[in-house]
Chain A
Amino acid sequence: MTLTVAQGSATGQGTPVAARANQVWKVYGSGEAQVVALREVSVELQRGAFTAIMGPSGSGKSTLMHCLAGLDSVTRGDVHIGQTKVTGMKDKALTKLRRDQVGFIFQQFNLLPTLTAEENITLPLSIAGRKPDKAWFDTVIDTVGLRDRLKHRPTQLSGGQQQRVACARALVARPEVIFADEPTGNLDSKSGAEVLSFLRNSVREFGQTIVMVTHDPVAASYADRVIFLADGSIVSELYEPTADTVLDTMKRLDTGA
């Protein structure tokens, strides 16, 4: 029933792991209203890889991501980020973990309207009381192509630009993992493509680890690996996906289920 994807896969072996879920259960509510959002999910996310999570609505993609990121607690099992065991951490430690080791890109409302793009980008570092590495900052800014927009406020930026700012913010702190929940869900295909290629580049060029939840087979094709969820369980995975292979898998799962 359970598919432990990482084990036995050719590319996975020997690669250091950036985040890992081990037999994770997530149950909401109790009694009749009980919903099992994740059932005994185990997954390892290789460092320096771009992983996409796909699945039908309600399959537990967001839940899995939240559990991996330490935003939500698991009902059973445990989660590690790098060498750190996340499960059981107190709020203070979790906050520090998020601040230092995790980056987030949400579907929308990623930015504080009171801060400029630049201030938004360096916000996690400022909160942690760290100075951004100038060279790295410049690299990131140039990669996202926002240099002439740094002094602008979010309301003065387009949706695509805002998402790029969010990406830059996640990258600048050089976290262990970046989690992105449908980062292109609100964007048109052109802006979406920009953001996605930017994410892929940061994996290729800077060795960043990224986990992305998406519904879009095209978006998933930018990833190195796609994990398919259904009903709270991992049901399939693909390496080096293309939009077509993703679509095929989805169809297959759809009819198979």
Chain B
Amino acid sequence: MLRATLKSVLSRKLRLVLSGLAVVLGVMFVSGAFVLTDTLGRSFDGLFATAFQNTDVTVSVKSTGPAQGFDDDQKLTATVKPETLEKVRGIDGVAKATGIVSADGARVIGSNGKVITSFGPPRLGENWTGENDLVKLREGRAPQSGTEVVMNAGLAKSAGVKVGDQVGVLTTQPKKTFTLVGITEYSGGRDSLGGSMVVSFHESVAAELMLGTPNVYSSVDVKAAAGKTPEQVRDSVRAALGDSFEVKTGAELQKAQTAGAKEALGFFNKILLGFAGVALFVGTFLILNTFSIIVAQRTRELALMRAIGASRKQMIGSVLVEAVLIGLFASAVGLGLGIGVGSLLAWVFGNVGSASLELAGIGVPPAAIISAFSVGMIITLVAALLPAMRASRIPPVAALQEAATPDRPLTKVTVVGSLVTAGGATLLLLGLNDKLGDSSLYGFFGGVLLAFIGIALLTPMLARPIVGVIGRLMAWSVPGKLGRLNSARNPRRTAITAAALMVGIALITGVNTVFTSAEASIQKIADKEVNADLIISGDPSDERPATFDPAVIDKTKAISGVTGFSADYFDVAHALGEDRSVTIMTDVPAYAKMFKLTAKEGEIRALGPDEVLYDEERAKEKGLHVGATIEVQLARGQPRQMKLVGIYAKSSTTGGLILPTTLIGELQVAQPSWGYVDVADGVSVDGVRKQVDALLADSPEVTVANRNDFVQQQTSAFDTVLLMVQILLALAVLIAVLGIINTLALSVLERTRELGLLRAIGLGRFQSMRMITVEAIVISVFGALLGVVVGSGLGAAIVRALKDDGFSTFAMPWTAMGTYLALGAGIGVIAAILPALRAARVNVLQAISYE
């Protein structure tokens, strides 16, 4: 039996290669993700080990006030006072204590006038504390005054600056220009540690620039005296300073930092695995189809085996053994390729742009191997099981009958398909609407998966009418008509092939629908609620909000034709028992006019000291009314009691507490992030825009745009994300293309006689190629059409569920949908190439004389 199976595997190399390829690609994705994240993880280990190699113990202040930051990484470091530094120096076991200023947010303006951005690593501003084992001056000298800086070589390269240049840097203060006097490198001649960018200021200005207060530190670096371990020193410092300080050894810090980085990597890994899952899911269809076709074609052979005494179990076994062989082989190849792809991506991560992560050796984690084989085997076996059972049900008499198997009725699949689809849709909606508690997300994904399976089961039923219609559009010639008829010939086969394509296209369409709706919602808000003629804002995809020089505010107001201007400062404050985002508007009435902000209670007016405004929804939630007292504590201030003077009606453009301008000084960053300009009627908006633009010359993080350009800017990030999603899903589409090629190739093989007959009675080579191409196009357009429909349904469900989260408008990505359909046709043409060539090469004589 095994010998017979092996022989039959080898005799069908092509189709096995094609179906194996689907597994190979999926497994490659899975193991590549593991190899990539493992390699990066170990690289981070090395990175942080280096970064903390010289640190014995670090002292910082436990933050007590508000979280004070836009997210964890950007928490304003609570500062260490000079007295503390002195105290630490006096503690027994401390050999040396250095006050360190180090905070994210030193944004260097490159020689091209643009702010140097980093993708992930911080942009640190520090005080220069001299060379040490880790950091050395490669060129130049240390900063000797407040107007001099040094920076690491990686940053200097990205910025395109050299020693002696004047360099602009944005800190908690607007742009200041410094002379670059030195360039540093890290031990081993490295330009950067993991791509981080470091500007070192002179001691005299570092604290004020980076921490907002002169003469303080973010932490104290402690060297243990000879004979003392870091742990001993940590304990004695902790004992001396008390509870309000965080005292950690270098090893502890390294562990914490590494854990943070690995968590981010884990998330990244999950995303990659998600896309791999999609690819494998699609691959399952392909394998299922291949085995079904193989079994159908071997009906006589299998029946003969049954007739000569093979048991049903042996029949199932024979198909499954074939699947196991393919699964093993494809998993091994996929793992090999995955290691290659993972290493390549790791290299790209480590070396592209300013990032320079020293890569740890490429490793193959056990997870990669285990997942590669288990995923590859399971997928192949699951996909082969159905056809195997069908093979076992072939009656021995089939050996004696005409090979033509009658069409099995579709009732059963259709009923099962409807049930599964309904179940999937229900689960999906429950998940979307958060009805499943913590497992809502899983419910959603599970629902999507089930819905896809259900719809795939329904496709054979849909295939006949829809394929007929699509085919008719193309059947203007005899080859076209023949192709159309061929595609409708075996609805199951056509359906599975098309369903595989549907999955990829549906996901792409769904995501696109969500983004298009988000864009439309923003556009609608802009149209309905924004009256500002010009808007100053930064890149919305930037991690930290861009800021601009407050001096711009008054200068903009002074431009003739400007009738109103307001700037927004943002921060997080501790208020009403929680960290809440707060806004300071420089001109509340002007803002209210430009954004149609209306009072629900009290007044919307310029705020006096200690007066606040709040939004309707949250005020109601807290049971607050005008006249209430709210305690607010800002990053640099003490808790203060403030009076609620107005509650504004729900607005799509602002929310939360609005504080008076008197508190600007207490913000973490005392610079505005947004500005809104109202231009008088009849005055050229573009003229004003140019003047504002000139004022922003020293604030390179922001730009000024009219309303339409602004919407474009805000939504441009969507396009990037959409592009990424499309690239990642392209793999699923590629596998679906393999499926189409496979189905067609098998059909061509099956119909060799027919092709010969057609050629004998006068069908030209080109015409037979055309026939195959039409068949391919019909299948792929059918799949794309299903995908577009299912995808927009999915998108609609998501948009509806997110209605309260800003998705006020549902919009279909019509152009993109059209493109996907056209793409479907294109895919058909490409998938048809090989099978069509094969069909064209059919030798008429051989074809008609072969039994």
On A, residues with C-beta under 8 Å from B are 62, 66, 71-72, 91-92, 95-96, 98-100, 103-104, 106, 109-110, 112-115, 123-124, 126-129, 155, 169
Assess whether A104 is in contact with B845, with CB atoms less than 8 Å apart. Answer: no
CB contacts (< 8 Å) of B761 on chain A: these are: 98-99, 103-104, 123-124, 127, 169
Distance of A256 from chain B, by nearest CB (Å): 30
Would you call B309 an interface residue if the criterion is a C-beta within 8 Å of the partner chain's C-beta atoms? no
Assess whether A95 is in contact with B763, with CB atoms less than 8 Å apart. Answer: yes
CB contacts (< 8 Å) of A110 on chain B: these are: 757
Of chain B, the residue at the smallest CB distance from A110 is B757
Of chain A, the residue at the smallest CB distance from B840 is A91
On B, residues with C-beta under 8 Å from A are 404, 478, 482, 485-486, 488-489, 753-754, 757-765, 767, 844-845, 848-849
Distance of B145 from chain A, by nearest CB (Å): 87
**CA separation between A66 and B760, bound complex, in Å?**
10
Assess whether A112 is in contact with B757, with CB atoms less than 8 Å apart. Answer: yes
Of chain A, the residue at the smallest CB distance from B764 is A95
CB contacts (< 8 Å) of A112 on chain B: these are: 482, 754, 757-758
**CA separation between A62 and B478, bound complex, in Å?**
29
Assess whether A109 is in contact with B762, with CB atoms less than 8 Å apart. Answer: no
Q: Is the interface of B mostly helix, strand, loop or mixed?
A: helix
Distance of B581 from chain A, by nearest CB (Å): 66
Q: A109-B757, A112-B482, A112-B754 are in contact. Are A98 and B762 (CB under 8 A)?
A: yes
CB contacts (< 8 Å) of A95 on chain B: these are: 759, 762-765
Assess whether B760 is in contact with A104, with CB atoms less than 8 Å apart. Answer: yes
Assess whether A114 is in contact with B485, with CB atoms less than 8 Å apart. Answer: yes
Of chain B, the residue at the smallest CB distance from A104 is B760
**CA separation between A103 and B757, bound complex, in Å?**
11
CB contacts (< 8 Å) of A104 on chain B: these are: 760-761
CB contacts (< 8 Å) of B844 on chain A: these are: 71
Assess whether A127 is in contact with B848, with CB atoms less than 8 Å apart. Answer: no
Distance of A122 from chain B, by nearest CB (Å): 10
Q: A71-B760, A98-B760 are in contact. List 5 more A-B contacts (CB 8 A).
A: A98-B761, A103-B761, A109-B757, A113-B404, A123-B758
Of chain A, the residue at the smallest CB distance from B847 is A109
Picked from A100, A127, A169, the residue with its CB within 8 Å of the CB of B767 is: A127
**CA separation between A71 and B764, bound complex, in Å?**
13
CB contacts (< 8 Å) of B478 on chain A: these are: 123, 126-127, 129
CB contacts (< 8 Å) of B482 on chain A: these are: 112, 114-115
**CA separation between A100 and B849, bound complex, in Å?**
22
CB contacts (< 8 Å) of B485 on chain A: these are: 114-115
Of chain A, the residue at the smallest CB distance from B478 is A126
Picked from B404, B486, B754, B763, the residue with its CB within 8 Å of the CB of A155 is: B404
Of chain A, the residue at the smallest CB distance from B404 is A155
CB contacts (< 8 Å) of B760 on chain A: these are: 71, 98, 104, 106
Assess whether B845 is in contact with A66, with CB atoms less than 8 Å apart. Answer: yes
Assess whether A71 is in contact with B763, with CB atoms less than 8 Å apart. Answer: no
**CA separation between A169 and B757, bound complex, in Å?**
12
Of chain A, the residue at the smallest CB distance from B850 is A109
**CA separation between A183 and B228, bound complex, in Å?**
105
CB contacts (< 8 Å) of A169 on chain B: these are: 761
Assess whether B762 is in contact with A100, with CB atoms less than 8 Å apart. Answer: yes
**CA separation between A169 and B489, bound complex, in Å?**
23
CB contacts (< 8 Å) of A128 on chain B: these are: 762
CB contacts (< 8 Å) of A91 on chain B: these are: 765
CB contacts (< 8 Å) of B762 on chain A: these are: 95-96, 98-100, 124, 127-128
**CA separation between A98 and B845, bound complex, in Å?**
13
**CA separation between A66 and B404, bound complex, in Å?**
28
**CA separation between A123 and B477, bound complex, in Å?**
11
**CA separation between A222 and B704, bound complex, in Å?**
95
What are 27 A-B residue pairs whose CB atoms fall within 8 Å in the complex? A62-B849, A66-B845, A72-B845, A92-B765, A95-B762, A95-B763, A95-B765, A98-B760, A98-B762, A99-B761, A99-B762, A99-B763, A104-B760, A106-B760, A106-B848, A109-B848, A112-B758, A113-B489, A113-B754, A114-B482, A123-B761, A124-B761, A127-B478, A127-B758, A127-B761, A128-B762, A169-B761
Distance of B612 from chain A, by nearest CB (Å): 77
Assess whether B763 is in contact with A114, with CB atoms less than 8 Å apart. Answer: no
**CA separation between A7 and B763, bound complex, in Å?**
36
Assess whether B489 is in contact with A114, with CB atoms less than 8 Å apart. Answer: yes
Distance of B720 from chain A, by nearest CB (Å): 47
Of chain A, the residue at the smallest CB distance from B406 is A155
**CA separation between A126 and B482, bound complex, in Å?**
11
CB contacts (< 8 Å) of A71 on chain B: these are: 760, 844-845, 848
CB contacts (< 8 Å) of B763 on chain A: these are: 95, 99, 127
Distance of B468 from chain A, by nearest CB (Å): 12
Distance of A155 from chain B, by nearest CB (Å): 7
**CA separation between A30 and B489, bound complex, in Å?**
42
CB contacts (< 8 Å) of B758 on chain A: these are: 112, 123, 127
CB contacts (< 8 Å) of A124 on chain B: these are: 761-762
**CA separation between A113 and B753, bound complex, in Å?**
12
**CA separation between A229 and B758, bound complex, in Å?**
29
Of chain A, the residue at the smallest CB distance from B762 is A99
**CA separation between A114 and B849, bound complex, in Å?**
21
Distance of B72 from chain A, by nearest CB (Å): 65
**CA separation between A106 and B765, bound complex, in Å?**
21
CB contacts (< 8 Å) of A155 on chain B: these are: 404
Distance of B464 from chain A, by nearest CB (Å): 13
Assess whether A92 is in contact with B764, with CB atoms less than 8 Å apart. Answer: yes
Of chain A, the residue at the smallest CB distance from B761 is A124
**CA separation between A123 and B758, bound complex, in Å?**
9
Q: Which 8 A-B pairs have the closest CB atoms?
A: A99-B762, A114-B485, A126-B478, A95-B764, A124-B761, A98-B762, A127-B478, A109-B753
Assess whether A106 is in contact with B845, with CB atoms less than 8 Å apart. Answer: no
Distance of A95 from chain B, by nearest CB (Å): 5
**CA separation between A109 and B757, bound complex, in Å?**
8
CB contacts (< 8 Å) of A103 on chain B: these are: 761
Distance of A126 from chain B, by nearest CB (Å): 4
Of chain A, the residue at the smallest CB distance from B844 is A71
**CA separation between A103 and B761, bound complex, in Å?**
7
Of chain B, the residue at the smallest CB distance from A106 is B848
Distance of A110 from chain B, by nearest CB (Å): 7
CB contacts (< 8 Å) of B765 on chain A: these are: 91-92, 95
Of chain A, the residue at the smallest CB distance from B754 is A112
Assess whether B764 is in contact with A114, with CB atoms less than 8 Å apart. Answer: no
Distance of A142 from chain B, by nearest CB (Å): 22
CB contacts (< 8 Å) of B404 on chain A: these are: 113, 155
Of chain B, the residue at the smallest CB distance from A155 is B404
Distance of A73 from chain B, by nearest CB (Å): 10
CB contacts (< 8 Å) of B489 on chain A: these are: 113-114
Assess whether B486 is in contact with A114, with CB atoms less than 8 Å apart. Answer: yes
Assess whether A106 is in contact with B757, with CB atoms less than 8 Å apart. Answer: yes
CB contacts (< 8 Å) of B764 on chain A: these are: 92, 95-96
